C-alpha cells in the first residue's frame, strides 16, 4: 500500500441496524475516520443515512434478514456483492446475524474479520427451530474469525465451553464503553418533587423485559398514582414474532393510561435527565449501553440480576438488582427506590457515574479495536506496517 487515498486501509462494518452507528458506536466510527481509514457501514438503513455519513463514512443499505430463507439469501447476496466491490482489509461485525452471515461470507471471500458478540438474548435458552439452527451454525461461522470480542465473562465462557470459539480467539472489552463527557449530568429542576418517573429505553421486545416493566407498572400505579412510567424505543420487527411487542399491545398500554410512549429517539440524554430512575428488566445483555448512559448521567438504575447488567450495578450502592423475568420483584425494587429520599437517589447516581468512568471508559474499547486491526493487518500483510504507523497515533 502506498498510503494514497485509493489505497488507505478499508474497514467494512456489518450492523443489524444503522441506529447503533450513531449511538453506541459513533465514537468508534469517528476515530477510524480520523485515522484515515475508509469506513463502509453495511446495514439496514432505510433512513437517516445522511446523519451517519456526516461522520465521513459511507453507508450502504443491504436490508436485513430474519429467518425467512429467501430473505437470508437476498441479504447474503447483497452482502457478498458489496464486499467484493469494497475489498475491505478487515470486517467488523456486531450482533448475531452479521456475526453469522458476515463471517461465512467473509470466509468465502477470504476476508479478515473481528466479531463483537454484543449479547446472546435467547440464543442458549430458546427451543425454537431457528435458534437450534443458529446454535449449529455458530461454531462453523466463527471457526476462522481472527478476534472475537466479548462484553462479559459469562458469554465468553458459554461460547468457549460449547466449542463455538477457542479461548485463544477471544478478548474481553467493557461493552461499547461510555462517552462520559457526552453523557454528563444535566441539572433538571422538577416543578413537583412528589412526582416520580421510571424510564425504559430500548427496543420493544419481550426478552428486554418489557412485559415485566408493564406488570410492575400496574402494581405500582395502584399504590402510587403520582408515579409515571415512560417508554422510549422502537417497535422492533427484526426479530422472531414470539419475542416481539406488537403495535396493538403498545397502543393498548397507552390507551389504558399506563405508560407514556415517546417513540424512537437517536439522542436520549434529555429523556434520561428528566427521569428519576432508569429500568432495564432484560433477560440477558452483552453489556447494557443504556445502563452505562444513565449511570454516566448520575441516575440510579434498576435492572435484572443477569450478565451484562450486574457488572454495571452495585446493588444498593449505585442502583438495585431484581430477579429476572419477575415483574412482582421488579415492583418491589421500584417501591424501594420510591421510598428513598431524593438525596439518597442523588448519592446513588454520583457513585454510579464514578464507577462507569473508572471501569467502562469508551476509549478502552476504541483502543482495543485499533490495536486488533493493526495487529491483524501487520500479521497478515507486512507491507501495511508503514501505512499503519503513518495513520495511527495510538500507543499500545
Q: What is the pLDDT of residues 108-155, one digit of tens each?
A: 999 999 999 998 877 888 888 888 888 999 999 999 999 999 999 999
Query: According to CATH, where is 3.40.50.2000 located in the chain?
Result: 5-177+361-391, 196-359
User: What pairing do the DSSP bridges indicate for beta strands 10-17 and 147-150?
Assistant: unpaired
Full pLDDT tens readout for the chain, 396 residues: 333 333 589 999 999 887 777 677 889 999 999 999 999 999 987 777 888 899 999 999 998 876 678 888 999 999 999 999 999 999 999 988 899 999 999 999 999 999 999 988 778 888 888 888 889 999 999 999 999 999 999 999 999 999 999 999 999 999 999 999 999 999 998 888 889 999 999 999 999 999 999 999 999 999 999 999 999 999 987 667 788 899 999 999 999 999 999 999 989 999 999 999 999 999 999 999 999 999 999 999 999 999 999 999 999 999 999 999 999 999 999 999 999 999 999 999 999 999 999 999 999 999 999 999 999 888 765 444 444 444 444 443
205 burial level (CB within 10 Å; 0-12, 13-18, 19+): buried
Pick from 54, 31, 148, 163: which is nearest to 98 by CA?
Answer: 148
- Over the chain, what is the mean pLDDT? 90
* Cα 243 from Cα 204, distance rounded (Å): 9
Q: Which CATH number fits domain 5-177+361-391: 1.25.40.10, 3.30.360.10, 3.40.50.2000, 1.10.1380.10?
A: 3.40.50.2000
CATH architecture for segment(s) 196-359: 3-Layer(aba) Sandwich (3.40)
Alpha helices in the chain, H assignment, sequence order: 26-34, 49-53, 69-86, 96-97, 103-108, 129-142, 153-161, 210-223, 247-255, 269-274, 289-296, 327-339, 342-359, 362-380, 385-391
Give the helix, strand, coil percentages of the chain, each rounded to 5. 45, 15, 35
Residue pointed to by grid coordinates 439518597? 344
Which residues lie below 8 Å from residue 322, measured CB to CB, with a gap of 6+?
281, 302, 303, 304, 305, 329, 330, 332, 333
What span, in angstroms and rounded, lies between the C-alpha atoms of 104 and 101?
5
Contact 31, 111 (CB under 8 A): no
Counted residue by residue, the chain has a size of 396
Three-class SS state of 111: coil
Is residue 269 within 8 A of residue 183, CB to CB? The reply is yes
Q: Indicate if the alpha-carbon torsion angle 54, 55, 61, 66 is positive or negative.
A: negative
165-171 contacts at long range (C-beta below 8 A, 24 or more positions apart)? 165/139, 169/142, 169/145, 171/147, 171/368, 171/372
Cα 25 to the center of its chain, rounded Å: 9
Rounded Cα distance, 386 and 396, in Å: 17
Amino acid at each position: 500500500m502506498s498510503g494514497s487515498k485509493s489505497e488507505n486501509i478499508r474497514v467494512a462494518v456489518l450492523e443489524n441496524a444503522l441506529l447503533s452507528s450513531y449511538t453506541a458506536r459513533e465514537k468508534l466510527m469517528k476515530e477510524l475516520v480520523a485515522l484515515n481509514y475508509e469506513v463502509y457501514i453495511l446495514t439496514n438503513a432505510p433512513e437517516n443515512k445522511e446523519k451517519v455519513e456526516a461522520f465521513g463514512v459511507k453507508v450502504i443499505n443491504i436490508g436485513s434478514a430474519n429467518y425467512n430463507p429467501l430473505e437470508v439469501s437476498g441479504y447474503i447476496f447483497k452482502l457478498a456483492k458489496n464486499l467484493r466491490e469494497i475489498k475491505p482489509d478487515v470486517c467488523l461485525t456486531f450482533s448475531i446475524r452479521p456475526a453469522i452471515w458476515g463471517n461465512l461470507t467473509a470466509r468465502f471471500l477470504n476476508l479478515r474479520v473481528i466479531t463483537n458478540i454484543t449479547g446472546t438474548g435467547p440464543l442458549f435458552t430458546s427451543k425454537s427451530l431457528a435458534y437450534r439452527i443458529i446454535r449449529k451454525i455458530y461454531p462453523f461461522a466463527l471457526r476462522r474469525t481472527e478476534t472475537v470480542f466479548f462484553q462479559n465473562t459469562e458469554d465468553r465462557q458459554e461460547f468457549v465451553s460449547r466449542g463455538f470459539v477457542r479461548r485463544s480467539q477471544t478478548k474481553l472489552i467493557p461493552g461499547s464503553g461510555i462517552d462520559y463527557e457526552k453523557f454528563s449530568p444535566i441539572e433538571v429542576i422538577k416543578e413537583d418533587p412528589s412526582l416520580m418517573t421510571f424510564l425504559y429505553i430500548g427496543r420493544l421486545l419481550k426478552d428486554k423485559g418489557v412485559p415485566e416493566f408493564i406488570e410492575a407498572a400496574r402494581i405500582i400505579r395502584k399504590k402510587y398514582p403520582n408515579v409515571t412510567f415512560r417508554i422510549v424505543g422502537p417497535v422492533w420487527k427484526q426479530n422472531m414474532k414470539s419475542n416481539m411487542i406488537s403495535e396493538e399491545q403498545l397502543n393498548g398500554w397507552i390507551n389504558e393510561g399506563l405508560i407514556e410512549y415517546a417513540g424512537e429517539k437517536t439522542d436520549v440524554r434529555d429523556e434520561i435527565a428528566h427521569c428519576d430512575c432508569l429500568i432495564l428488566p432484560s433477560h440477558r445483555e452483552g453489556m447494557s449501553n443504556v445502563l452505562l448512559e444513565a449511570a454516566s448521567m448520575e441516575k440510579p438504575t434498576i435492572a435484572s440480576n443477569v450478565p451484562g447488567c450486574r457488572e454495571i450495578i452495585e446493588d444498593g450502592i449505585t442502583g438495585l438488582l431484581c430477579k429476572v423475568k419477575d415483574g412482582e420483584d421488579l415492583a418491589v425494587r421500584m417501591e424501594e427506590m420510591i421510598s428513598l429520599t431524593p438525596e439518597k437517589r442523588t448519592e446513588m447516581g454520583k457513585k454510579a457515574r464514578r464507577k462507569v468512568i473508572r471501569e467502562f471508559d469508551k476509549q478502552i474499547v476504541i483502543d482495543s479495536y485499533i490495536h486488533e486491526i493493526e495487529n491483524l493487518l501487520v500479521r497478515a500483510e507486512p507491507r501495511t506496517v508503514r501505512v499503519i504507523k503513518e495513520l495511527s497515533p495510538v500507543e499500545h
